[in-house]
Amino acid sequence: MLHGRKILLVVSGSVAAFKALMLVRLLRAEGATVRAVLTAGGARFVTKEALAAITGEHVSDDLWAAEAEIGHIRLARWAEAVVVAPASASRLAQMAQGLAEDLAGCVLLATRAPVLAAPAMNPAMWAHPATAANVALLAGRGIRFVGPGEGPMAEPESGPGRLSEPEEMLEAIRALFAEGPLKGRHVLVTAGPTREPIDPVRYISNHSSGKQGYAIAAALAAQGARVTLVSGPTSLAAPPGVTLKPVESAREMLAACEAALPADAAIFAAAVADWRVAQEASQKLKKEPGAGAPTLAMALNPDILATISTHTARPKLVVGFAAETERVIENAQKKLARKGCDWIVANDVSGDVFGGGDNTVHLVSAAGVEDWPRMPKEEVAARLAARVAEYFQ
Ligand code: C5P
């Protein structure tokens, strides 16, 4: 898939920059041509000579020297994809601001090719609201992200911040070139449970694993769509080429969905908590001797599916899920009307659907009801993605 592709790799400053060299190996093994731009920060961790040897190409690291040789505009035009790996906190901030103070900044502004960023930084830096805002801004402009992951890092802290493995970055680059019927379409997917806080240490949630929603996001990306996956807490990694927006509560999920619009289609596979605790306690609720159990007043959560179905920027195709334990079809048909969506994927959850690998669903729309046989969640996802593709044909 990458044979003959021209990929421009921007290596910025991170101790993980050595993985960029491994990524070049993998890309070249697939037949891609890789040119590299080394930032001043990146040059602290890998040498220009190492990058030149491994890419087999001249490495650019100086805006002014590059002007004399190939020129940043030509370099930007040459690239069919630009990959920023590792993308440091500072590089993401510069990209968000559109700063063009060095060669990497100029190329990133001048390119019309898809851009993929693979962040790598200390977990506290990744968690900082400034970084989160920069990532949100860039994702909103269509920049794709892969990672960061969790795992051993140079720092003693743990949490997300680790540069994705070269194989994961390769998968995400393949996804940039994914040709398919949904190329050029943006699809929003929700997945997982929501977590509704009671106090700083307790919450109300449900057993949703997120498997079905993540599989749908992956299947849509494989059909060439640009996918934004708004997900509650799960143990799953973002599928390659999918932009993950992690959220916790239903209200956060709604805000992230609205921020992701416009979209051509939206698929709401999340198991959103219907209620939240009306007043989240700012301190941990105490078990006072003799006081008995507290009574928690509940409030209704927003219905994300219904809200987006009537939104001024409503996606053309809106798909909801209906988890039912009885009268599955009848309830799904009612839900279709009540929520204002186009299709409902109805499933019987009286069995082992939550966390399980298989699903039995019915596709309910104004056109009628289709019964799909029991199949793995990945296959449900692939079929649904194919139906979405057909809809836009
Ligand atoms: O009403 P019910 O929860 O059964 O509807 C299920 C569908 O509505 C799913 O697609 C789910 O993602 C969506 N939903 C939502 N926001 C809620 C409740 C459900 O988006 N607050």
85 CB-near residues (< 8 Å, 6+ apart): 9, 10, 11, 19, 20, 23, 116, 117, 118, 120, 163, 169
308 Cβ below 6 A of ligand 1 = no
Assign a CATH topology to domain 1-177. Answer: Rossmann fold (3.40.50)
β-strand partners of 359: 375
Distance 193 CA to ligand 1 centre (A): 11
Assign a CATH topology to domain 180-393. Answer: Rossmann fold (3.40.50)
**pLDDT per residue as tens digits for the range 293-350:** 989 999 999 999 999 999 999 999 999 999 888 899 999 999 999 999 999 999 887 7
For the chain, the average pLDDT equals 91
Indicate which residue's Cα is closest to atom 4 of ligand 1: 322
**pLDDT per residue as tens digits for the range 175-198:** 888 888 998 899 999 999 999 999
**pLDDT per residue as tens digits for the range 2-50:** 899 999 999 999 999 999 999 999 999 999 999 999 999 999 999 999 9
208 secondary structure, DSSP code: -
Q: Where in the chain is the domain with CATH 3.40.50.10300?
A: 180-393
| Bridge-based pairing state of the strands 33-38 and 375-376 | unpaired
Other CB atoms within 10 Å distance of the CB of residue 104: 29
Q: Is 301 a catalytic residue?
A: no
322 Cβ below 6 A of ligand 1 = yes
| Contact (Cβ atoms closer than 8 angstroms) between residue 174 and residue 252 | no
| Token digits of residue 133 | 């805002």
The residue behind tokens 């057909």 is 390
Backbone dihedral angles phi then psi of residue 381, each to the nearest 5 degrees: -65, -45
Q: How confident is the model at residue 237 (pLDDT cuts 50, 70, 90)?
A: confident
**pLDDT per residue as tens digits for the range 92-111:** 999 999 999 999 999 999 99
Q: How confident is the model at residue 67 (pLDDT cuts 50, 70, 90)?
A: low
Residue 274 CA: nearest ligand 1 atom is: 21
Residue 323 CA: nearest ligand 1 atom is: 4
Helix axes 18-29, 48-55, angle to 10 degrees: 10
From 206, 317, 321, the mutation candidate for ligand 1 (largest count of ligand atoms within 8 A of CB) is: 321
From 188, 206, 229, 303, the mutation candidate for ligand 1 (largest count of ligand atoms within 8 A of CB) is: 303
Annotated catalytic residue, options 134, 206, 331, 347 = 206
Average pLDDT over residues 252-279: 96
Q: Where in the chain is the domain with CATH 3.40.50.1950?
A: 1-177
Distance 335 CA to ligand 1 centre (A): 9
Give, for 81, the enclosing helix (H) or strand (E): strand 81-87
Distance 239 CA to ligand 1 centre (A): 23
Q: Which residue type, as a one-letter code, is found at position 263?
A: A
Distance 273 CA to ligand 1 centre (A): 8
214 Cβ below 6 A of ligand 1 = no
Q: How confident is the model at residue 63 (pLDDT cuts 50, 70, 90)?
A: confident
Residue 324 CA: nearest ligand 1 atom is: 4
- Integer-rounded Cα radius of gyration of the chain: 23
How high is the pLDDT of residue 354? 59
191 Cβ below 6 A of ligand 1 = no
How high is the pLDDT of residue 72? 77
